[in-house]
Chain A
Amino acid sequence: MKNKILFFMLIVTSSLSSIADGQQQMNIVFVNTADNKLIEHDSMYQNAWGEIYQIQKLKYYISEVKLGTALPGPEIYLINAFGNAGFTIPASTHTIDSISFLIGVDSLYHVSGAQEGSLDPLNDMYWAWNSGYVTFKLEGIAESSPAPLHKMEQHIGGFAGNQKTMRRIVLPLLNEPATYDTIFIEMNLDKYWQGIHHISIQQSPVLTLPGKEAVYAADNFSGMFSIKRVY
């Protein structure tokens, strides 16, 4: 299984652009895993509570990406475990001691009307009746889910006041000149279920509202991301 992840990383690396003339670039790739496996359709995963589940959808917003002390970029990326899971940003040749980013998007975007690009409501990450973007969306099936058809839906959103679900993640990098052009960041779904708070599919199979439960879930984001490797 580990080999599969490595193989995936290799493929991605070869398909991404490398250093363009003059302008240094950095590829950021999210490696989405659960249960020590790459997230794929039709695979089964088990969480810390012994619940077995399949994943049909896994998408989340990444914004305000910042390398070291550089200014954060304005772009907003929608990471899709079954689609585009990486992007390229400009980088300086200076020592990069960390990468930081926001899971979700700044509240301004939630209140400014119709948006385009990664924020286009076509991307199925927008709540119409309760205006605002979903920060993190996971859907699948789990035997332990009491919901109809054993559905499991974790739509984590909410952007205002104490309902905020955006979280800033800072990951340290080796404090040495960056000789690499790709950073692989692992998103480990195991930590979603077993993080600061414990979430079980049986107890909250369907979470599609902003509020306390969504904030709890968002608190677990911080433990889900780590540097897998630079390349």
Chain B
Amino acid sequence: MKRNLKILILAGILFICLGMNLLIENASPPQPIEFKIPKGWPKPPTDIFVKNKLTEQGFQLGKKLFYDARLSKDGEISCASCHQYFAAFSTFEHDLSHGVNNSFTNRNAPALFNLAWKTSFHWDGGVNHIEVQALNPLLAPNEMGETLEGVLRKLKKDSSYRRLFKDAFVTEGISSQRMLKALAQFTGSLLSANSRYDKMKRGEIQFTAAEQKGYALYQLHCSGCHTEPLFTDESFRNNGIGLNRFKDVGRMDFTHLSSDSLKFKVPSLRNVQLSPPYMHDGSIGYITKVLEHYRTGIDTTSAILDPLLKKKIHLTDRQRDELLYFLFALTDTSFTKNKRFGPDEKYIFKH
């Protein structure tokens, strides 16, 4: 009898242990999150979260990776060093950004938002998928300067990363694919759709008279390339910015077609107030100077200039200011102040 009791107790303990084990195993399966498409917006051309299921754990892992400078060769540069949340994830007031070992990028770091709608990445469109984009900054000697082996070695050594990868992908293991997918869950989630313009569209507010006039001017002069509601048509165009000191020919680097010389991806105008300086090389410092460029700075006789700009844009000073008010109405401060996207701890920007 006594023996039987012992066995019973042992069996009971075993049962509880097994049960606990199961509980722990299933403690928190990755929680799916829905990526909501703002009303009136087109569906993204391809759903980046079909094969890379968006989950809270994946997003949080991606965010940690994004803000972690240890991913770089010298431990100084994170994605967030160049993509600063308060500047809509561009490099604030830098034409070029700092990489490891006092290096510089040779292009201006674009703001990051609404990436799920992009059909290609980088100013020349050379990158075809959000997941593989991150290989560029990680490996470039003038960005994070690491090797893929090096990055993975560091992550595998860190027990908190080992846990976070398991939380996000259910099974144990850290791989390049998982790292890239997690990063894409974070960057692909950066949604900015709550500017005054969006509120006006949703009928929550009304534009001021100046904004309204600016909107009309935008529709007349700018919407052919900076198309609503993303404020880019994702095409490659020449808007009159010339060859810079890096001899950067833009799209032609990728297609090798001389007809693509000096064409660059049309950037979104959303949050443009927050992301100076402007253009692929940051060669225009202020938003007012950009408007001056369109108004008086373009050589309309240039053979490679985009046809849409061949006719000089006439703007009176007053109209220029109205257009400016409209551009400011594209600023989404709820995006840059969104705690979900910002750093968890106080983040120190070195540059």
Residues of chain A touching chain B, judged by Cβ–Cβ distance below 8 Å, are 110-116, 120-122, 126, 128-132, 209, 211
In the complex, B41 has a CB within 8 A of chain A? no
Residue of A nearest to B52 (CB): A113
CB distance from A43 to the nearest CB of B (A): 28
Chain B residues positioned under 8 Å from A110 (CB to CB): 128
Chain B's interface: helix, strand, loop or mixed, by majority? Answer: helix
Bound CA span A211–B255, Å: 8
CB distance from A124 to the nearest CB of B (A): 9
Q: Which of B56-64, B93-101, B132-140, B308-316 contacts A (4 or more CB under 8 A)?
A: B132-140
Q: Are A128 and B135 in contact (CB under 8 A)?
A: yes
Give the interface size class of chain B.
20 to 34
Q: Are B148 and A121 in contact (CB under 8 A)?
A: yes
In the complex, B190 has a CB within 8 A of chain A? no
Bound CA span A121–B138, Å: 12
Chain B residues positioned under 8 Å from A114 (CB to CB): 129, 131-132, 176-177, 180-181, 184
Partner of B127, one of A112, A116, A122, A129: A129
Q: Are B184 and A122 in contact (CB under 8 A)?
A: no
Chain B residues positioned under 8 Å from A113 (CB to CB): 48, 51-52, 129-132, 180-181, 184
In the complex, B254 has a CB within 8 A of chain A? yes
CB distance from A110 to the nearest CB of B (A): 7
Chain B residues positioned under 8 Å from A131 (CB to CB): 126-129, 132
Bound CA span A129–B126, Å: 6
Bound CA span A209–B184, Å: 26
Partner of B128, one of A111, A116, A120, A122: A111
Chosen A-B contacts, 25 in total, with CB atoms closer than 8 Å, are: A110-B128, A111-B129, A113-B48, A113-B129, A113-B130, A113-B132, A113-B181, A113-B184, A114-B129, A114-B131, A114-B176, A120-B177, A126-B132, A128-B127, A128-B135, A128-B136, A129-B122, A129-B127, A130-B126, A130-B127, A130-B254, A131-B126, A131-B127, A131-B129, A132-B128
